[in-house]
Structure 1
Amino acid sequence: MGEQIETAAEAIEAHALPRVHEVHSDPDAKNAKDQPVPKGVADKPVEQKSPAQWAYERTVLYLKKFEEGLDDGQEIAMGFAGTDAGVLKIEGMGYFDPDVVTFYGTDPAGGKMQLVQHVSQLSVVFRAVPKAVETEEPNRIGFKLLEDLETGET
């Protein structure tokens, strides 16, 4: 006993190489697949990663790609489905092995927020929101998160 039972889809995903397939109506749309897989992601085989680490790494790639399409007056935030919690301006992200991903940030009024999500329930809606007026440059958390992945320290 003690062996974890996986669905066929989970078994296939667990042994797959990092790959992405996307199709958009705009032929000039930039896809997550258009960016190189960071060294820190590619160096460790998928089967050696926890579900939390694997979900975190892939979410970071999507987050950075979304940010690349924002203008200087926008920053990334995430919306919540099925709740009146509003939006969370993403200022940090992490994971807690084996199966939890977390997002840190603030609400539109500046109140602190944190979302702690089990990977089996992970569903992220990225939103472009106006950047805080008092800041000169928009915060680009996706670029910082990707830099962390590239160093391979996760």
Structure 2
Amino acid sequence: MTDNDPIRTTAEAAEAAAMPRARAVHSDPEAPQSAEQKPLPKALSRKPVDQKSPAEWAYERLILYIKNFEEQLDSEHEVAMGYAGSSTGALRIEGMGFFDPDLITFYGSDDAGTKTQLVQHVTQLNVMLRALPKIVPEQAARRIGFRLVDELESSEDT
């Protein structure tokens, strides 16, 4: 502790330890805000980070990244994810879940429309979000990130 460190109560120290930290810097000062730069939804603060499994905490943060990515898409594109380190293609994200303590699952379809599911251990998690043209151009783009946030906000377990 230095002379410049503020003195904190036990409650303040516990709260600071339970709150997540995030930071992002972009080369373009006009770049849209990234997920790390936005305030956390209340649902993510209801339960301290140290009481969440690695799967639950990864799931919640991925929701923020997906929603933020979708906010930057035009009406002709939907979110998908590429497979890191693989030439398998992309999975159009149509659903996402977690299974405590350490698995994240992505549900969707590949470029050919084949039903696809990826089960990923949190220690191996690499997600590359991609913008793909809508499957049916005449229909509105499906925004899974917004649905995931709505579910997270309305969930009593969070």
Regarding TM over 0.5, the answer is yes
% identical aligned pairs: 59
1:101 pairs with 2:104: yes
Give runs of aligned pairs for residues 61-140 of structure 1, distance below 5 A: 61-140=64-143
What stretches of structure 2 of length at least 5 have no aligned partner?
1-16
What RMSD in Å do the two structures reach over aligned CA positions?
A: 1.4
Q: 1:135 to 1:107 in 2, by over 3 A?
A: farther
Encode CA deviations 1:84-125: one digit per residue, 9 max, x unaligned: 321000000000000000100001111100000000000100
Q: 1:21 to 1:34 in 2, by over 3 A?
A: closer
Q: TM-score, normalised by structure 1?
A: 0.85
What stretches of structure 1 of length at least 5 have no aligned partner?
1-14
Distance 1:45 1:58 in 2: 14
Work out the number of aligned pairs and report it: 140
Larger radius of gyration, structure 1 or 2? 2
After TM superposition, give the deviation of residue 135 of structure 1 in Å: 4.7
Q: TM-score, normalised by structure 2?
A: 0.83
Counterpart of 2:30 in structure 1 is 28
